[in-house]
Amino acid sequence: MWFLWFLLALNIAAAGMYRLAPRSGEFLARLAAKSAADPGRFFIALVAVLALAYVPVAAVFTPWQWVEFGPFGFQPGPAVQYILFFFAGVGVGAYGLERGLLASDAMLARRWGFWLAGIPASFVLWIVPTGLIVKGHGAVLPGLQILADLGAVLFAASACFGLSAVFLRFAAVRLPILDGVSENAYGIYLFHYVFVLWTQYLLLDVSLPAIAKGGIVLAVSLVLSWAASAALRRVPVAGRVIGAAGAGVRSQKSEIRKSELGRQTPGF
């Protein structure tokens, strides 16, 4: 559950950054500006920064090691990557989802096959040295741990780019039910853990196949977390955090009106 409170902390940090340095979003947007036309260069730059930040931390903390203070616990290794991915996402979003890296007609989506193939390739580069370390060959083969750490960084970035490319290419059709999921996605993400945990607990003594229990947990957790998100989005204070009800629809209508105005106005 730690990544939920960690995500909230990153959102607070981003809000504070915007308050103290309002032009910081523009700076991140400029860094992401060329990602639509050249996602490969953006990928290389991101992996390089991730490696420089993650490898030194991984030399002190293993990927599975926990650090705890009071009721909070986190994994220092993945935390470093989460921070950098988060602010890379802020830059991409600040530049504009409709015209940046995640534009439906950008190079990332066009070359989806290349990026998808990178996922299993990078996974091998990570899992092979990791497997050798687990089997006790780390002391015999110097530098194996660094290779595993670099492989972890490469795999994480490849998975993000590859899956994004696939969804941009094949999931571009608008469906009303998916619009509802999209508008409540952040709330679902925040609330799902409670429902997943307690639904699993209630099913512990129920005699059902594992796949059936998994399906029940998925369905119940999705419906209840979606309902909780939709209800809280109608509360002004909560709506400011997870998105006010109807904001997505209003935004879509606004974009449609702008498009119609552009077609009607000469030289627009």
> Among all chains, which residue has been given the structure tokens 């997505």?
248
Q: How far apart are the C-alpha atoms of 113 and 94, rounded to whole Å?
A: 27
Q: Check residue 68 and report its DSSP letter.
A: E
Q: Once rounded to an integer, what is the mean pLDDT over residues 212-236?
A: 93
* pLDDT tier at 60, thresholds 50, 70, 90: confident
DSSP 176: H
Q: Which residues contact 236 (CB under 8 A, 6 or more apart)?
A: 244
What's the pLDDT score for residue 224? 95
Average pLDDT, the chain: 84
Compute the average pLDDT of residues 103-129: 92
- pLDDT greater at residue 213 or residue 259: 213
What average pLDDT does the segment 232-261 reach? Answer: 63
Residue pair 192/225 in contact by the 8 Å Cβ criterion: yes
pLDDT per residue as tens digits for the range 142-165: 788 899 999 999 999 999 999 999
Q: Residue 221 burial by CB count (10 A; 0-12/13-18/19+): exposed, middle or buried? A: buried
- What pLDDT score was predicted for residue 2? 80
Average of per-residue pLDDT across 11-19: 90
Q: Which token pair is 196?
A: 């997943």
Question: Residue 74: left if φ>0, alpha if ψ -120 to 50, beta else—which one?
Answer: beta
Distance CA 93, CA 107 (A): 17
β-sheet bridge partners, residue 241:
none
Distances (CA, A) of 267 to 98, 99, 254: 22, 21, 20
Task: Give the tens place of pLDDT for each residue, 175-189.
Answer: 787 788 888 888 898
Per-residue pLDDT at 77 exceeds 90: no
**3-state secondary structure at position 73:** strand
What's the pLDDT at 139?
62
The stretch 162-174 carries a mean pLDDT of 87
Indicate the pLDDT class of residue 221, thresholds 50, 70 and 90: very high
Cα-based distances in Å from 240 to 19, 116, 236: 16, 36, 6
- Kindly list the domain boundaries of the chain, sorted by start residue: 1-172, 174-268
Residue with tokens 């571009």: 172
b/e sequence 62-83, b meaning 16+ C-beta within 10 Å = eeeeeeeeeeeebbbbbbbbbb
Q: What is the pLDDT of residues 257-268, one digit of tens each?
A: 444 444 444 443
Note the pLDDT of residue 202: 95
**Which range, of 199-208, 226-235, 246-255, averages the lowest pLDDT?**
246-255
Distances (CA, A) of 238 to 46, 187, 215, 235, 244: 33, 10, 30, 5, 8
Q: Quick check: 195 and 225 in contact, CB under 8 A?
A: yes
